[in-house]
Amino acid sequence: MIPEPRYGERVDPAPDGGPISGPDGAHVAAHDGGSGLPPLPVQPPAPRRHRALRVVGVVAALVGVVALLLGGFYGWTVTADQRRADAVSLLADRESGAVEAHGALTARTRSSQAEADRVRGVVGAGPFAADTDPSAESLRTALGALDLALFEAGEAAAIPVPEETDEQAAADPAPAFTLPWELMSEAEQLEADAHRADTVATSLLATAEATDDAEKAVVDAEAGYFSSLATRAQAEIDASPLASRKSQVDLSYLIDTAADPGQADYRDGAFLTSFQTAQQALRDSQAVETREASDPAFATRREIEEYARSLSAGVVLDFVWAPEVNGLGENWLSGTAETYDSDGGWSIISLNYTVEEAWADGDENARALVAHEVGHTQVIRDVCEPLFAGPVFGSEHETWATAWSISLGFDLPGSGIEAYGRPTDEQIATAAECR
């Protein structure tokens, strides 16, 4: 071993020319003593295998990043395309809803307009204008609100409705290599269109509902008005006991229509005018009967009417007095009877003035004729109808009425014998069972 050199000392090479051993035993390469430089340590060879691994790792990392980017791009594209497809479906649905809403509004407007027109005929009628009942004002107000709703419905229906998208065609796959942000942009536009269509549909449906509510208010107000009208008219009938049965019945039929909500379609301006006419006829009849009841000039008529009613067994009788009845006037005894089995059974007996004069003179033929006409009214009674319709009479009216008068003791020409002949004794006996 060569001792560590000190400063200024020379190190001699090994005798065999090999490497020189340093003070720590490390070999030092022999150095040309003429260069004047200290000797360099010997470097080991570079590890080539490690460098190759590092290159492979870098390449693999780059490939992974690229794959990750490509995968993300593909996923974005798929997501964007699905959003576009969903937006197409949504738009088609919302546009269809808008078209249906427009149809609903159109149908509602048509129905409400018809109701408004009908009720406007009522409100515009003279009797309605003169009616001070609160129900009339309620109907007038409701009709005004419906007219406003119909105007707004017309404005809404005039707004263009989005045309329905061909969903199948619009849902076709996007062209190849369409960029995802382009798909996203298209989807956003479709979604915005769908929102606008939905807004239109919502507005149309709201308008249709408002119109429907206004129509219902008119229907309720109209029913309330006619219900009030019916109640008031019935009170008039109850307060008019002397009015003719015909005037009471005619008004009663109109009251039934006015009080029935299901008959609303028949209640127009013409109906209201007819109603007022019937009311006036009732009032006039009551006034006439009241006046004549206390007038001595009509005493004979009152006596004849009371006698006829005493024979009618509850069948309500109205009387009409005229110069001529059935074409016969002065010096002829003439009468007719119109009998109705509805409304409790009632009849209108018409008599000419000659009957009144003959009665006042005590002519029994006048009584016989009155009994004949009352006999006509008896065929609607349950106890008499089978006798009238049975084999003895065969529903022959004049023979029945004549036989019925004779059965009361009027075996006279005025009972009908002069005009129709004398019935058989069997017919007279059968008619006598009707009491």
Per residue in 271-291, pLDDT tens?
999 999 999 999 999 999 999
Rounded CA separation 267/20 (Å):
137
Q: Is the pLDDT of residue 141 over 60?
A: yes
Reported confidence tier of residue 27, pLDDT bands at 50, 70, 90: very low
CA distance 342 to 363: 34
Higher pLDDT, 242 or 186: 242
Where does the pLDDT of residue 193 fall: very low under 50, low under 70, confident under 90, or very high at 90 and above? confident
Residues 6+ apart with CB under 8 A from 239: none
With a pLDDT cut of 70, the percent of the chain lying above it is 80
Query: Which two three-digit tokens encode residue 7?
Result: 């400063």
297 has pLDDT over 90: yes
**Does residue 358 form part of some domain?**
yes
183: in domain: no
**SS3 (DSSP) at 347:** strand
Contact 335, 352 (CB under 8 A): yes
Q: Is 122 within the bounds of a domain? A: no
Cα(340)–Cα(394) distance, rounded to whole angstroms? 19
Give the pLDDT band of residue 171 (cuts 50, 70, 90): low
pLDDT at 30: 43
Range of the domain at 387: 297-431
38 domain-assigned: no
Comparing 14-18, 62-66, 191-195, 313-317, which segment has the lowest mean pLDDT? Answer: 14-18
Q: What is the pLDDT of residue 176?
A: 61
What are the angstrom distances between the C-alpha of 111 and each of 115, 155, 356, 389? Answer: 6, 17, 59, 51
Judge whether 109 lies within some domain. no
Contact predicate 416/375, CB 8 Å = no
| Structure confidence at residue 26 (pLDDT) | 47
What pLDDT does residue 86 have? 82
Least confident of 34-43, 142-151, 159-168, 308-317: 34-43
Q: What is the mean pLDDT of the chain?
A: 87
pLDDT of residue 85: 83
Contact 367, 335 (CB under 8 A): no
346 within domain boundaries:
yes
Domains identified in the chain, total number: 1
pLDDT for residue 91:
87
Query: What's the pLDDT tens digit per position in 361-418?
Result: 999 999 999 999 999 999 999 999 999 999 999 999 999 999 999 999 999 999 999 9
**pLDDT at residue 410, as a whole number:** 98
354 lies in a domain? yes
pLDDT at 324: 98
Taking the CA atoms of the chain, what radius of gyration do you get in angstroms? 58
Question: CB under 8 Å to 133, separation ≥6 — which residues?
Answer: 225, 228, 229, 232
- Contact indicator for 94, 197 with CB cutoff of 8 Å: yes
Confidence at residue 166, expressed as pLDDT on a 0 to 100 scale: 61
DSSP reduced 3-state for 294: coil
Kindly tell me if the per-residue pLDDT of 251 is higher than 80. yes
pLDDT value of residue 20: 46
What percent of the chain has a predicted confidence (pLDDT) above 90? 66
Cross-strand pairs, 322: 352
Amino acid at 202: T
**Predicted pLDDT at 67:** 63
Please, which pLDDT band fits residue 29 given cuts at 50, 70 and 90? very low
Residue 314: inside a domain: yes
